Structure 1
Amino acid sequence: MFVRFLTAALLCATGFAPPVTAGAQYPLKLQNCGVDLTFDQAPDSAVTLGQAATEILYSLGLAEKVTATSVWFTEVLPEFRDTNAGIERLADNDPSFESVVARKPGLVAAQYEWHVGPQGIVATREQFADVGIPTYVLPADCWHKDNASGSDGTRSTMFEMQSVYAGVSELGRIFDVPERAEALVAQLQAREAAASDKAKALNLQDASAVFWFSSAEMDVDPYVAGRKGPPGYLMAKLGLRNIVESDEEWPAISWETIARANPSIIVIARMDRRRYEADDHEKKIAFLKSDPVTRQMDAVENDRIVILDAHAMDPSIRNIAALETLAAALPVLGLR
């Protein structure tokens, strides 16, 4: 079976930061997803709610500050496997408010507003503030994005890597390691430019795609990538047309609608999480090849199914590795 297993592995990640040559200046004042923050000094510890936040802190050399993690989609980046093994995991998915507070962190760093936000399922930012714990949400989750709908949010403009870089830069300033963030940024921006050039060289003319993250049940409408999230960014860079026109981050679209659009390739998420049956990429493949609607799509009949690291489909430092990996894989699929 011709299925390409693609892991968006990141050997070294970077983030956006303005030029900085000295340590952070305290008190440090930031506005983060509409909330004003002030830090009188670097936090002495952190609990992370979200793999993206965890891997940024690890990439900034701040693993010793991380006392507990939560919300994991895939295995940690290989270079941090030993480090991560020694750090407590509160939950694979959503931790309780009490479990986070019990660690008495100097900062809670969250990947999504829906974990820590106005309707936070772990807690609101106000609830954490009431017990003296500041919170920081990665800007990529609120950068030109409305999370008030109760779904995964709706973007008003196309996702851009600068929103990820901004998170790296700000965390570098919060923890007084701005020079590490600046160095991280320079490398990742260089990789983004090189991958973009390689993607342009593909010169695809009429190729289309759909990115399938998961489904609440195996045979119900799948959660697929909207046109303005990270997969939309990847498709735009690669010259692929997204068959999904919704601005929602992960709308549920019927397989009948997807089959009518008949995408040239199907990119499916591989993850370790098992919240839903369709989190299992092998079950995704089996469904695509057996369902009477999906098995007739050109991408399925011609084995143009690409398996991609799930975490690289959400805003994270892995997005550039996903762009590199897809740019290398598409020529093999024979697309035009």
Structure 2
Amino acid sequence: MFRLPKCHLLIVMMIVVFVLAACSFEQASSSPAENGTVAEGEASGEETQTDPAGASGYQPVTIENNGRILTFKEPPKRAVTLNQHVTEVMLALGLEEVMVGTAYLDDEILPQFQEAYEQIPVLADRYPSQEVFLSVEPDFAYAGWQSAFSENGVGSVEELEAFGVTAYLHHSSTIVGSTIEDVYQDIHNIGRIFGVEERAKALIAQMETDIALLQEQIGKVDEPIRVFVYDSGEDQAFTVGQNYMNTLIRLAGGENIFADLDKNWGSVNWEEVVERSPEVIVVVDYGEMTAEQKIDFLLRHPALDNVPAIQHERFVVVPLSAAAEGIRAPLALEILIKGFYPEKAE
């Protein structure tokens, strides 16, 4: 059975809530422990409940981020997150108390983070204007996609620096051929920046454990199932090449039929899809078209009649929040594995 034990799935997103929780019992009633933040061992001199992002032992941190060198002499105190997967990284690390704003959900926030999320001002449904963004006096902007730091977002990183705001762009969401290790590096970087490195290490370790367990359950795959990822498009199909979804498909025992594209995303002709004969179609669920509408479009497409995935109506729906480079990797793998190899779950 591919489904992880319920407690295990909760742990992957809430691991930091339980790390050395006993050390928080003697905190005052107004301590972050009672507000759902992370407890760390006071006796060890690590991050403490009373100073979740500014432990007295904080050492200056230098991070390389997409070709820029960022140096922090102290943890940011007024952070704004601009995409869902990076918002959930911050919440998983127990950093809601230093978040003065957030924006751009792809779908519902994870239930275990809902209470903490509701404490944070939502600046916009998508990207806030630069004026709205600056109105909360941020000192740190954390984005998942490059579009956040553009004229259609809150402004360029250079503009933000002029306003005294340090911008961090989730590296694993920008590079070609992103891997799960790249996601771990982003989590580790955020942990270092905010002085909660032990929490980051614990979260990464739990993700590694859960992914290994899922792969152990699937066993050896002699012939990976052929997978086509449908994002969008009518005249052509917009699909995955080398991006993070390619990594998830491989970890789930599948083979992305367009893994030979030399970029993260690309448009391909429907004839190419037919030639590569996918056995399963992964539908990325986001945008104005629902997953059901996308599936209906594919089933009605005359060029695809002889495609095995269409003939057997084999579709796997993956929410964009799970497909993005964040803490939902085990959940994404569980969805994919169950869709690729349902017989192993019986």
Q: Is TM-score (shorter-chain normalized) higher than 0.5?
A: yes
1:270 correspondence with 2:302 = no
TM-fit CA distance, 1:287: 0.5
Residue 99 (structure 2) aligns with: 66
Instruction: Kindly indicate whether residue 84 of structure 2 is the aligned counterpart of residue 51 of structure 1.
Output: yes
Change in Cα spacing, 1:185 to 1:220, as seen in structure 2 (3 Å) is same
User: What residue is the counterpart of 2:130 in the other structure?
Assistant: 97
1:151 maps to none
How many angstroms apart in 2 are the aligned matches of 1:74 and 1:248? 26
Report SS of the residue matched to 1:136: strand
1:127 aligns with 2:159: yes
| 8 Å contact kept, 2:82–2:141 | yes
What is the aligned partner in structure 1 of residue 255 from structure 2? 241
Kindly provide the amino acid, as one letter, of the partner of residue 251 in structure 1.
G
Code of the residue aligned with 1:261 in structure 2: it is R
- 2:70 corresponds to: 37
Query: Contact 1:204/1:240 (CA < 8 Å) preserved in 2?
Result: no
Whether contact under 8 Å (1:110, 1:136) holds in the other structure is: yes
TM-score by length of 1: 0.81
Aligned residue number for residue 261 of structure 1: 276
- Residues 16-68 of structure 1 show CA distances to partners (whole Å, capped at 9, x for unaligned) of xxxx9845633222221111112121111211111111000000011122222
Instruction: Work out which of the residue numbers 204, 207, 210 in structure 2 matches 1:191.
Output: 210
Please say which structure displays the higher CA radius of gyration: 2
Q: C-alpha distance in 2, partners of 1:40/1:322?
A: 36
Q: Percent identity?
A: 28
> Aligned residue for 1:5?
none
Q: Which of residues 154, 177, 180 in structure 2 aligns to 1:161?
A: 180
Alpha-carbon distance between aligned partners in 1 of 2:112 and 2:314, rounded to the nearest angstrom: 30
5+ residue gaps, structure 2, are: 1-7, 17-43, 48-56
1:208-261 CA-partner distances (Å, limit 9, x unpaired): 00112233xxx23232111x2222112222332211121221212222321222
Give the superposition deviation at 1:73.
1.6
Superposed CA offset, 1:291-322 (max 9, x none): 21234421122021111122222211112221
| Residue 138 of structure 1, aligned match among 154, 170, 175 | 170
The size of the alignment, in residue pairs, is 298
In the alignment, the residues of structure 2 paired with residue 67 and residue 295 of structure 1 have an alpha-carbon distance, to the nearest angstrom, of: 51
Residue by residue over 1:81-114, the C-alpha shift from the partner in whole angstroms, topping out at 9 and shown as x without a partner, is 2332342222333332222112111210111233
User: Which of 222, 239, 243 in structure 2 is aligned with 1:229?
Assistant: 243
SS in 2 for 1:179: helix
Change in Cα spacing, 1:192 to 1:136, as seen in structure 2 (3 Å) is same
After TM superposition, the score normalised by the length of structure 2 is 0.78
Is the Cα–Cα contact under 8 Å of residues 30 and 36 in structure 1 kept in the other structure? yes
Q: Tell me the equivalent position of 2:27.
A: none
8 Å contact 1:202–1:238 — kept in the other structure? Answer: no
> Would you say the 8 A contact 1:270–1:281 is kept in 2?
yes
Could you tell me whether the CA contact under 8 Å between 1:10 and 1:317 is conserved in 2? no
What displacement does 1:137 show? Answer: 1.3
Residue 176 of structure 1: CA displacement?
A: 1.5
Output the CA distance in 1 between the equivalents of 2:270 and 2:119: 42
Q: Supply the AA of the counterpart residue of 1:87.
A: I
The whole-number CA distance in structure 2 between the counterparts of 1:206 and 1:167 is: 29
Rounded to whole Å, the distance in 2 between the matches of 1:327 and 1:320 is 10
RMSD: 2.5
Query: Distance in 2 between the 1:322 and 1:312 partners?
Result: 5
Any stretches of 5+ residues in structure 1 without a counterpart? Answer: 1-8, 146-154
1:173 lines up with 2:223 in the alignment = no
Question: Equivalents in 2 of 1:174, 1:252: separation in Å?
Answer: 37
Describe the shift of the 1:333–1:89 C-alpha distance in structure 2 as closer, same or farther (beyond 3 A): farther
Which has the larger share of helix?
Answer: 2
> Is residue 262–residue 298 contact of structure 1 (8 Å, CA) maintained in 2?
yes
Partner of residue 209, structure 1: 227
* Kept in 2: contact 1:111–1:137 (CA 8 A): yes
Structure with bigger RCO (C-alpha 8 Å, 6+ apart): 1
- 1:83/1:258 CA distance change after superposition, 3 Å: same
Aligned: 1:116 with 2:149: yes
Q: 1:92 to 1:324 in 2, by over 3 A?
A: same
